[in-house]
Chains A and B, each alone.
Chain A
Amino acid sequence: MTTAQSPTAGAPHGSHRNGRVSARARDLHLTDSVRSARHDARAQGGRSGEWMPYLPASGSPHRPPGVDPATLVWAETVAPGGYTHKVLARGTRLRFDDPTGDACAHLLLYNALEPVERLNVADTQKVPWQAYLGENHPLLSGDGRVLAVVSADSSGRHDAFCGTTTDAWNERKYGDARPEGPSPSGRGLFLKAAAKHGLGRRDLPPGVSFFQGVRVEADGTLGWQGSAGPGTHVELVAEMPLLVLVANVVHPLDPRPEYVVGPLRVHAWRGTPTGPGEPRFTATPELHRAYLNTVDYCEARGL
């Protein structure tokens, strides 16, 4: 599970087997006319792979326990070295699962209606007076609002310091950073996801990552904890309409010489934003005011 693929293996990346049917297993002479090419292409539909979106989401083979399938709006297994993105309504519950213990969910969040409002990691650490992400930790924008909040966490191994990897980092560490190569960088994948929403290099702020922990030692040294093992999950509540960008790539401080990353499961289902009647709304003075700001924005906007 921890062996890097050769540079020619192609996507998906990292340590896990390619889920696609090998071209060599097929008769290469089935496409000698448009009609036969169409038949050949259509005959490939309906197959399943290790990593893919599940449509409709209610048909996901990995539905989170206790979730009514009819409420699911997003179900996907993101390939190792893959990326995904989605616009979610306010109140949506978003869950990441790490089935193998080797996923790393690098995350960027934006106000879907005005993407200049986006995740601000400095405020996300400074305002709650806490560097480590965990239950009830808000993911704050630079505009004093809660984009999302961590509502459940069975991992406890996360990082808001190191962000994701760059091409320069992966070229130095793995010899290759191309998005189509065996060890894509997180920034390269974020750029693709952002481009599909009309966003570019200016729109990628520092991000956070889930499932591979980092801790700060007394002298400031950043120590990599690794994961809490297979089978952990993190849940978020979208407190605003969100554009979510996810890259599932190796954490920058992962000391293993191979590009080791496992599949990442993503599920989202309809729900309601955190309301004044819930303990989280007033859990701290800072969180309370952040919620007041968020509700104020959403009410004015008719959300």
Chain B
Amino acid sequence: MATTPSGNTPVTCPTVSGGTVASTVPVGAVYAEDSRLDRGASLVEGTVVLDETVAPNAPWSAVVRKGHVLTIVDVGGNQSADCLLYDADDPEERYSVPDTLAWQGNTYVRTGTVLRSNEGRALMTVVADEIDRQDTIGGACGKESNTLRYGHHVMFQHGCRENFLAEAGRRGLGVRDLVSNLNWFMNVPVEADGALGIVDGMSAPGRRVAVRAETDVLVLVSNCPQMNNPCNDFNPTPLRMLVVDPAPAADEARSARAAGTPEGTA
């Protein structure tokens, strides 16, 4: 198990000039050698059009075409995949937590949840989900908000807001385009008196969620560093992002190709 970086124990980091400095920011990939990992497979049959791994702590993005299904695999378990969605052709239309919640009349994301835009339209639909519920009210961690949650000593840690800014920048988007997000595999219950918080997850290595694009969707993901939340033993693990084109029943050639692709079947 990796050491806990959330305390004040400094980590020695090399500098460009050849010296070393003490930092609370851990370096390199941080999942332990003995972490149990399960790369899983797509939850939906079809032709694999994309199969990528998101390193621990890293950002990722891709356009998922209309009708294609994205399976996100929680490879190491209880990893949080912070996620933002945009209409690929008009990124000013983007994922909206309040519209998603109001349209379905429920706080939690489960199979059947339609992920709606700030204009009320369907961007994606959850078509399969291997944990009880997914979170969309907890938002993302960030350098600035971490100072409120944990103290000013955590200011220079990495966070999802940094990942979102970096990946948005690669897509021509910026800070104005960051809004409240989804947190795949994270658990944020709301209690009767309104108390809420991020608590131990309900996921495990290999657990998956699958979402179908209802239009061409730009998906931004931050594989959360989880530096101060013990829900993942301070041990961020990879995510696997699998996009398949579900083979139309009438298209036998495509069905045959999908069947011949080991990772194209669950």
Contact residues of A with B, CB < 8 Å? 116, 120-123, 125-127, 129-132, 140, 142-145, 161-164, 166-169, 187, 200-207, 215-216, 218-222, 252-253, 286, 289-290, 292-293
Contact = CB atoms under 8 A, between A and B. Distances in A.
Contacts of B138: 122, 126
Interface residues of B, number: 49
Nearest to A129: B197
A45 B91 CA distance: 45
A167 B196 CA distance: 31
A250 to B, nearest CB: 12
Contact of A122 (B97, B176, B192): B97
B121 interface: yes
B213 to A, nearest CB: 18
Nearest to A137: B194
Most buried by B among A200, A203, A286: A286
A120 B106 contact: no
A245 B204 CA distance: 43
Contact of A167 (B119, B147, B190): B119
Contacts, number: 143
Contacts of B177: 202
B142 interface: yes
Contacts of B106: 219-222
B178 interface: yes
Interface string B98-126: 11011101111000000000111100000
Contacts of A140: 145, 148
Given A168-B120, A220-B133, A222-B106, A206 B147 contact: no
B179 interface: yes
A205 B118 CA distance: 9
Given A205-B180, A293-B148, A126 B133 contact: no
A36 B91 CA distance: 51
A222 B101 contact: yes
A86 to B, nearest CB: 21
Contact of B101 (A162, A169, A201): A162
B107 A161 contact: yes
| Chain A CB within 10 A, most for which of B98, B121, B180, B194 | B98
Contacts of A201: 92-93, 118
A161 B194 CA distance: 11
Contacts of A163: 96-99, 102
Given A144-B144, A161-B137, A166 B151 contact: no
B155 to A, nearest CB: 9
B196 A125 contact: yes
Contacts of A187: 118-119
Nearest to B107: A220
A167 B195 CA distance: 32
B66 interface: no
Contact of B142 (A142, A145, A219, A290): A142
Nearest to A218: B192
Interface string B57-99: 0000000000000000000000000000000000011001111
A126 B101 contact: no
B96 A203 contact: no
B98 A127 contact: no
Nearest to A291: B148
A203 B190 contact: no
Given A120-B139, A161-B137, A168-B120, A216 B102 contact: no
B161 interface: yes
B181 interface: yes
A289 B175 CA distance: 23
B98 A164 contact: yes
Contact of B98 (A116, A162, A218): A162
23 contacts: A121-B180, A125-B137, A126-B149, A131-B195, A140-B148, A142-B144, A144-B143, A161-B101, A161-B102, A163-B98, A163-B102, A166-B118, A166-B119, A187-B119, A202-B177, A206-B179, A207-B98, A216-B194, A252-B98, A286-B148, A289-B152, A293-B147, A293-B148
A181 B152 CA distance: 49
Given A167-B119, A203-B176, A222-B107, A216 B190 contact: yes
